Structure formats: C-alpha cells, structure tokens
Amino acid sequence: MDAEIRLRQESRERLKPWLFVGPAVLWTAAFFILPFAAMGVVSLWTRTSAGSASSFSLANYAQFFANPSYFQAMVNSLEVTAMVTGLSILLAYPLAWVLAERVPERWQRLALMLAVLPFWTSYVVRSYSWLLVLAERGVVNNTLMSLGV
C-alpha cells in the first residue's frame, strides 16, 4: 500500500512542472503554431477562378521563386531582419551588463525605467489622441451633438 501511495506522489511530482508550463504552451500553440500551420496549408492551395481552393500544389511556391521581385522582397526582408537583430544584440547586451554590474543596486530600477521610458512614447501619444477624439469638445462628441444624439 505504501508503494502505491509513493507511486501516486511521484507521478504528481512529475506533473507539477507541466502544470506551470502548460498555460504557456497552450498559449503558444493557439496563437503561434496553429496560425503558422494554417498559413502553410493555405499557401499550398491552388485557387480556381471562382476563388475557392481546388487542390494542393507547390505552384504558389514555384511562382514565388520564379518572380524576381517576390524573391528580392524576401531577400530584402531577411537582410533587414538580420541587421536589426544584430544591432539589437550589440546594443542591448552591453546595456544590460552595465545595468546589472556597474549601476549600484539602489539605482538599477531607476536606470532600467529610464532605458525603457522612450518605448512608452507611442502609448502616451495614442492615449492623448484618444483623449482629444473622445473629449467633451472632441470629434466624436461634436458629431453626435450635431446629429442630435
């Protein structure tokens, strides 16, 4: 009987990490893997003149690689991606090292906030834009008032 209880406890212990990782795995599957797979399936469809899918074929890929402008657009995109990734690594890792190792611990949070603060600009601008649009004398309210609503 003790062996059976021990086996149940061991199986529960083995499941614990999956309980923590499970939601992240489901989220990733639902919003990354499944749409990516759906895009791959749709890319294999050949369309009829009516717009419906008739069969699976590699014709779309043959057309993509045969057209030089499509291929050049992909190459340009990959070049920009590689440059941005490399530049991000070259800038971000030294900054992270300085924040972690050189900035005194009591100033680290402030330094990190100051490093991230410029990324908030678009959010602040968007918020003020909505305030202007939805304000008492904003576009939406003026339009509704002129309509008598």
* pLDDT for res 4: 83
* pLDDT for res 139: 86
Alpha helices, DSSP H only, in the chain? 2-28, 34-43, 59-66, 68-97, 105-116, 121-134, 139-146
* pLDDT for res 128: 87
Is the whole-model pTM more than 0.75? no
Reference 92, options 80, 84, 103; nearest CA is: 84
Token pair 């991230």: residue: 116
Query: For every one of its 149 residues, what pLDDT tens digit does the chain have, with 9 covering 90 and above?
Result: 688 888 888 888 888 888 889 999 999 999 999 999 999 998 888 877 776 667 888 988 998 889 999 989 999 999 999 999 999 999 999 999 999 999 999 999 999 999 999 888 888 888 888 888 888 888 888 888 889 87
Q: How far apart are CA 136 and CA 134, in angstroms?
A: 7
The single-letter code of the amino acid at 23 is: P
Q: Contact, 58 vs 43, CB < 8 A?
A: no
